[in-house]
Structure 1
C-alpha cells in the first residue's frame, strides 16, 4: 500500500504539470507567424472570433499542439516501459532503434503503396507498428543470451546499431524517389511534426485510450520485472511472457506516436528519469507523472523550436535532441 504522503506529492506534481501544459499551450496559441493576440484567445475558443482567428486557432495551431502533446505522452510511456522491462536506464524507443524501424516501414508504405488520403491517415499507425515490431524482435533476438538472458548493455548497443543501419536504409530508399516524397521523408527524419490536422488526432487517440490504462494495470508487473529475474520468478511472474506483452505495448506506443510526428528521440529517455526523481520508482505513481511530463516536454520543444527560426522554425525532433543528448551522456557516464 502506497503512503498517503507519496500520493499527495504525486497529485501536487500532476497539478503543476497540468498548469505548465496549459501555460505552454496558451503561449503557443497566441504566438506564431500569423498574429493572434492573447486577449482574443478566450473569445475565439468560445466561438466568438473572426473567421481568420478561428482558422488560425482551430485549423493550424490547436491540432498541432494536441498531436504533439499526445505523441509526447506516448513516447514517454514507451520509454518508461522499456526501461522497466530491460532494467536499463538508457532504454528509449528512439535510441534503441524502434523509431527507425517504424520510419522504414512508413517510408516503404509512402513510396510504394499509394492509398487514398483518408485511408492513409489511419493506416500509418498500423504500418509503423509492423515496422517497429519487426525491429524490436530482431533487437531482442540479437541482445538475448540463452545463458544470461536479456543483457541490458547489449540491448542498447544492438539498438543503436539497428538505428544507424535503418536510417541508412531510409536514405537508400529515398535516393531515387520523387522530390515531393523525399521532402516528406526528410522532414520525418528530422522529427518535424507533420500530422497537424484533426484526423491524425483521431487516428492516435484510440491507441492511447487503450494502451495507457493497460500499462497502468501492468504497473505491479513492471515493479517486479524491475527487480532481478530470480525474484520475479520466485513471486510467480512469468517473466518472458510479461516482458513480451509489455514490449509489444512499448512498441505500439512509440509507433503510433512517430507515425504522425516523425523520428523523435530522447523524450522517452528524459521523462521517466525526471518522473523517478520526483516521485520514485513505483510505477503506479510513476506512470501518470511520466505521461504528463513527456507530453509537456515535447510540446515545449515544438513551441520553442517554431519561434527560433523563420519561417518554419527548428523541428521538434532536433529540439528534443538538443535537450536530451546532454542528459543521455550524463546517464551514460553515470552508468
Structure 2
C-alpha cells in the first residue's frame, strides 16, 4: 500500500516536470541562429505564422526537440531497468557498454551496407538493437557466476571493459574508410543529435509506446528483484527469465535512442537517481518521474549545447558528460 501523500507528491512532481519540459522546449524553439519570437511560437504552432516562422519551427527546431525528448525518456527508462535488475546504482547503458555495442553496429551498417535514405531511418534502430543485444548478452554471460549469480560490481567492470574494447574496434573501422564517413561516425559517437527530422521521431516513438507500459506492468517484478534472489525465488519469480526479458527491454530502449541521437551516456544514470531522491525507490512511483526527468535533462542539454558556441554548438553528448561525469564520480565515492 502506497501512502496517499507520496502519490500526491509524485503527481505534483510530474506536473512540475511537464511544465519544465514545455518551457525548455519553448525556449529551445525560440533561440538559435534564426531567432523566433517567443510570442510567435503558439500562433505558428497553430498555422498562423509566416513561411519563415513555420519553416524554422516545423522543419528545424521542433523535430530536434521532440527527438531529444523521446531519446532522453528512453535512456532514463533503460537506466532505471538496468539498475533494478542488477541491483547496482552505477548501471547505465552508456557506462556498461550497451551504447558502444549499438555504436559498432551502426558504424558497420553505415560504412559497409549502403541503403536508401527512406529505409535507413527505420533500419537503424533495428541494427542498433541487434548489435546492442549481442553486446549485452556477452556482458551478462561474462558477469554471471553459476554459484553466486549475477554480481553487480562484476557487471559494471565487465561492461566498462567491453566499452573500451568496442572503442578500439571503432578506431580500426575508422582506419579503413573514407574521411567523410568517418566524420559522420565521429559526430555520432560524440552525441551530436543528427536524427533531427520527423521520420526519426516515427522511428523511435513505437519503441516507447510499447515498452513504457510494459515496464510499468513489470514494476512489481522489479521491486521484488531489488530485494535479492532468495526473496524473488521465494515468491515464485523465475529470476533469470525476468532479468533476461527486462534486459532486452532496456537494450531496445537504449538502442532506439542512441541510433538517432548518437552516443549519449549518463542520462540513464542521473535520471533514476534523481527520481528516487524525489519520490522513493518504488518502481511504480519513480519510473514515471525518471522518464520525464530524462527527457527534460536531454532537451535542456541540447538547448544549451547548440546555442553555447557558434556556429555548430557543443554536441549534446558532451554537454551531458560535463554534468554526468562529476555525478558519476560522486556516486562512486559515496558507494
Shorter-chain TM-score range: over 0.9
1:142 — aligned with what? 142
The yes-or-no answer on 1:157 pairing with 2:162 is no
The yes-or-no answer on 1:323 pairing with 2:323 is yes
For residues 206-228 of structure 1, the C-alpha deviation after alignment (integer angstroms, 9 at most, x for no partner) is 00000000000000000000111
2:229 — aligned with what? 229
Distance in 2 between residues matched to 1:235 and 1:329, nearest whole Å:
36
2:273 — aligned with what? 273
For residues 241-266 of structure 1, the C-alpha deviation after alignment (integer angstroms, 9 at most, x for no partner) is 00000000000000000000000000
Structure 1: which 4+ aligned runs deviate by more than 3 Å?
Answer: none
Moved more, 29-38 or 209-218: 29-38
The yes-or-no answer on 1:22 pairing with 2:22 is yes
2:66 — aligned with what? 66
Distance in 1 between residues matched to 2:205 and 2:43, nearest whole Å:
27
Aligned residues: 335
**TM-fit CA distance, 1:176:** 2.3
Distance in 1 between residues matched to 2:103 and 2:221, nearest whole Å:
30
**TM-fit CA distance, 1:35:** 1.9
2:47 — aligned with what? 47
For residues 139-192 of structure 1, the C-alpha deviation after alignment (integer angstroms, 9 at most, x for no partner) is 001111111111111100110011111112112112221222111101111000
Distance in 2 between residues matched to 1:164 and 1:61, nearest whole Å:
34
Distance in 2 between residues matched to 1:35 and 1:89, nearest whole Å:
41
1:306 — aligned with what? 306
- What CA RMSD, in Å, does the superposition of the two structures yield over aligned residues? 0.7
- Following superposition of structure 1 onto structure 2, how do residues 95-244 of structure 1 map, counting pairs within 5 Å? 95-244=95-244
Distance in 2 between residues matched to 1:182 and 1:14, nearest whole Å:
41
The yes-or-no answer on 1:251 pairing with 2:251 is yes
**TM-fit CA distance, 1:38:** 1.2
Task: Extract unaligned runs of 5+ from structure 1.
Answer: none
Distance in 2 between residues matched to 1:35 and 1:146, nearest whole Å:
59
Distance in 2 between residues matched to 1:80 and 1:293, nearest whole Å:
12
TM-score (norm 1): 0.99
Distance in 1 between residues matched to 2:273 and 2:39, nearest whole Å:
37
Distance in 2 between residues matched to 1:226 and 1:172, nearest whole Å:
40
Task: Extract unaligned runs of 5+ from structure 2.
Answer: none
Distance in 1 between residues matched to 2:20 and 2:175, nearest whole Å:
42
TM-score (norm 2): 0.99
Moved more, 45-54 or 83-92: 45-54
**TM-fit CA distance, 1:231:** 0.7
For residues 62-114 of structure 1, the C-alpha deviation after alignment (integer angstroms, 9 at most, x for no partner) is 00000000000000000000000000000000000000000000000001111
